[in-house]
Amino acid sequence: MTWWEGGSTQFQSPFQGQDFRRSGVSSFCSHIIRRFSMAAILDRIVAATRARVAESRRGADLRDLERRAEQHVPRGFRRALAEKSRDGIAVIAELKKASPSKGLIRAEFHPEALARELAASGAAALSVLTDENFFQGSLETLRMASAAVSIPCLRKDFIVDEFQLTEARANSADAVLLIVAALTSPELTGLAQGARTRGLDVLCEVHDGDELQRALDAGCDLIGVNTRDLRTFKVDLQTAFDLASKFPTDIVRVAESGIHAGDDVARLRAAGYDAFLVGESLMRAEFPGAALRELMGVPSEK
């Protein structure tokens, strides 16, 4: 069991919920506890992230971080998706080792090899998890994946502070994820502007119409609809279809989560989505590149 400690508060890793298999009262109680745990997981992650970032910032060599950030030239994450979507299927392939709701997803996790395989199989961009405590990601994973490919990379994490933006570019990210549900409107606007100032694109993640409007108000032009509710972890593709008609025409639209087959991609493209973020189904596949080609309808390599 893994623990993260911040001040006087302890955050228990959600991975302890993998043994809820006993029958009877014990199993029932475990199920109820897990439901409450999942409902609160977003708040727990954000609180843990804020404390961790404050600690990291205090111990950081900001001059060195800014020097490293200057050395990386962002490769145009939004542009890559827009260009690929004009005559093909733009997939953001995600490198994800684990998640709070599913536990360990891929035991054999080699970032450089996975990045090269997915890029060679047609991914327009990569998404790399960097949260350590809940997703078993790291900034090192981001650096390794980004260095292995020419396509742009997204730092996928819970971004709550401008320090993380500089940190992202210093570790070879070309874009960052901003989650509307995790931020106040002033925070969202400030972080989106801070990312642009640093040359980073922003994938702004929403879950409903109100969050979509907040993303638009913050000036975001690359918006993803996550069909997984981060408070319950329930996945429903209908969320993406319900929001599809609410986007202005100049927004690059991304469908996230719950995409497992080519038919899902076809239906979402018909609804108006330009790009698709796919992680779990690729990471569970023995050969992620082959799974990506199948998803995109590309003939398998001989």
Is residue 187 part of the annotated active site? The answer reads no
Neighbours of 107 (CB within 10 A): 7
DSSP 136-199: ---HHHHHHHHHH-SS-EEEES---SHHHHHHHHHTT-SEEEEEGGGS-HHHHHHHHHHHHHTT
Catalytic residue, candidates 117, 162, 167, 205: 205
Let me know: does 273 contact 251? Beta carbons within 8 Å: no
Is residue 96 part of the annotated active site? The answer reads yes
With residue 222 as reference, give the H or E element that holds it: strand 222-226
With residue 10 as reference, give the H or E element that holds it: strand 9-12
Is residue 205 part of the annotated active site? The answer reads yes
Instruction: Report strand pairing: 90-95 vs 9-12.
Output: unpaired
d(CA 119, CA 101): 27
Which residues, other chains included, contact 118 with Cβ-Cβ below 8 Å and sequence gap of 6+?
93, 95, 126, 282, 288, 289, 292
Catalytic residue, candidates 121, 226, 280, 281: 226
Catalytic residue, candidates 133, 156, 211, 281: 156
Catalytic residue, candidates 13, 84, 85, 94: 94
Is residue 94 part of the annotated active site? The answer reads yes
The helix/strand/coil state of 126 is: strand
d(CA 6, CA 1): 17
Instruction: Report strand pairing: 125-129 vs 90-95.
Output: parallel
d(CA 257, CA 106): 17
Catalytic residue, candidates 85, 133, 172, 257: 257
Is residue 301 part of the annotated active site? The answer reads no
Catalytic residue, candidates 96, 97, 167, 211: 96
Catalytic residue, candidates 117, 162, 167, 256: 256
DSSP state of 21: T
Q: Known catalytic residues?
A: 94, 96, 156, 205, 226, 256-257
